[in-house]
Every structure is written in C-alpha cells, then in structure tokens.
Structure 1
Amino acid sequence: MKEKTIKIATAYGILKIGDTDLDVSVLDNGDRVITHSAVFRTLGREPRGNARIDQIPAFMDEKNLQSSISSDLQCLIKRVPYNKE
C-alpha cells in the first residue's frame, strides 16, 4: 500500500485580488495553495471542515452549484492536506 505523505508549507503570504486578501502558502513541492478558510472568508461564510461531496472542497459542495462545476474544474480543484513548517 502506498503511504500518503503530508506536504509542508514553507512560505506564507497574502494574494490581493481587488479588495480581497487571500491567505496563501507554498508547499515543499512547489505547489501554491489558497487556504480553505480564506476562500470561505472571501465568500462571506463561516468556514466548515467537512465537505458533503467526496473530492469537492467544502466551499463548492452546495447542491445548487453542482451543475456549474465542470469535469475540467473538478480536475483542477482538490483539497491538499499540509502542515505548517
């Protein structure tokens, strides 16, 4: 069985888009991620931990959004577990 390795965040910053500041991190493999709580905060919602639909981030799992999420978008959006350095 393949072991799942947890990535480590090695850098942190703010991504400014218009009037919105998003908390972002760079992982030890070079991947850049936007934090879960930053997306919820930007949408004006309280963060919640568990997605109701497997492999769909919690901020995108509302039933009324599902018809707008293409298979191409599903391939790009994924939850990436990581630890702070």
Structure 2
Amino acid sequence: MPQATHEGVLQFGTLEIEVAVLDNGQRVITQSGLMMGLGRIRPPTGRQYYRSGAHLPAFLTVQSLKPFIGEDLVTIANQTEFRTKQGVKAFGYAPDFLPKVCEVFARAQHAGVLKATQHSIASRTQIIAEQLERSCMMRLIDEATSYQEIRKTQRNTYRSEE
C-alpha cells in the first residue's frame, strides 16, 4: 500500500482540502479532505460510503445530478488506498477528480436542477473552480505539500546525470 511522503492543505478562500503525495509520486486529494471541503459534515467511512455500481461519493449519486455525470468522471472516481504519514489507512482521489466534480455542479446549477441541499456544495465548487482556472491542480498539490522542492531537486539531479 502506498505511503504518503508529503501532506498538505489546499486553500480555496476559506475552504480547505487535504492533499498528499505518495511514495510512488502519485498526488491525491484525500477523501476526508474532499468531503469536508465541500461541506459534507458526515465523515467518510472508506469504500462502504459508496453505493453499488459506480464508485462515486454518495452526494454525486443523487438523481438530479445523473445527467451531468459523464463516463470520464466515473472512470477517475476510483479511490487510491494509502497510508498517511502517521500510518493511518486513508483513501484518496486523483487530482483531476475535483475539477470534474466542480463541472458537474456548475452544469447542474446552470440547468436549474439542484435541490436546496445541493446549493451549498455548488457554492463551494464555484469557489474552487474559479481558483482552478488560474492554477494547475498538480501544481497546487505540490505547493500545498512542499513537494515542488523535491521535484526541483530531482530535476536538477537528472540534468546533472545527462
């Protein structure tokens, strides 16, 4: 099971989403960080939190969002199981999962099909989407975890070996 080597928090205004870089170089958005960042109060409980079929978080499986969820989102919804730096088992999503979730809520809001309980998530995803328009998700994770320093060192090492 991969181990987190770097952990951090993405800041989107007042919203915070936990992220990590794993020992295999993979960047992840933690499941708990995603849920808390989107205002989902109930903490996730790993894979049991998902309904059968697509491995989407429960808040994305509501009927009103179904027309806005493409196969690309379903494909990247699979979680990565990993251990935090403290050794605790955790789950994470690929970096491109968050922008896709933002797109779903933007399209659903534009279509006027969001339920009252979904407006808070839509507001949060709009804040996140606005910042993501200006920055690459991978770069944001690297900056939040201080991994960009490791990446620079690795790049310089590779150049000197050439």
TM-score, normalised on structure 1?
Answer: 0.76
Residue aligning to 1:52? 51
**How far did residue 19 of structure 1 move?**
2.3
Instruction: Check 1:53–1:63 CA distance in 2 against 1; reply closer, same or farther (3 A cut).
Output: farther
Which letter does structure 1 place at the counterpart of 2:38?
L
**Rg bigger for which structure?**
2
Distance in 2 between residues matched to 1:22 and 1:79, nearest whole Å: 16
Which letter does structure 2 place at the counterpart of 1:15?
L
Instruction: Work out whether residues 21 and 28 of structure 2, in 8 Å CA contact, stay in contact via their aligned partners in 1.
Output: yes
Distance in 2 between residues matched to 1:48 and 1:26, nearest whole Å: 20
Instruction: Check 1:75–1:60 CA distance in 2 against 1; reply closer, same or farther (3 A cut).
Output: farther
Which letter does structure 1 place at the counterpart of 2:44?
R
Aligned positions of 1:8-47 closer than 5 A:
8-45=3-40, 46-47=42-43
Instruction: Check 1:44–1:63 CA distance in 2 against 1; reply closer, same or farther (3 A cut).
Output: same
Which letter does structure 2 place at the counterpart of 1:29?
N
- Pick the structure with more strand per residue: 1
Distance in 2 between residues matched to 1:9 and 1:59, nearest whole Å: 26
**Unaligned 5+ runs, structure 1:** 1-5
Distance in 1 between residues matched to 2:76 and 2:56, nearest whole Å: 11
The CA RMSD over aligned residues, in Å, is: 1.9
Which letter does structure 1 place at the counterpart of 2:33?
A
Residue aligning to 1:70? 70
Instruction: Check 1:36–1:23 CA distance in 2 against 1; reply closer, same or farther (3 A cut).
Output: same
Instruction: Work out whether residues 7 and 83 of structure 1, in 8 Å CA contact, stay in contact via their aligned partners in 2.
Output: yes
**Which stretches of structure 1, 4 residues or longer, exceed 4 Å deviation after superposition?**
none
What SS class does the counterpart of residue 16 from structure 1 fall into? strand
**Unaligned 5+ runs, structure 2:** 86-162
Instruction: Work out whether residues 9 and 25 of structure 1, in 8 Å CA contact, stay in contact via their aligned partners in 2.
Output: yes
Identity of aligned residues (%): 31
Instruction: Work out whether residues 51 and 58 of structure 2, in 8 Å CA contact, stay in contact via their aligned partners in 1.
Output: no
Paired positions, count:
80
What SS class does the counterpart of residue 40 from structure 1 fall into? helix
**How far did residue 37 of structure 1 move?**
1.1
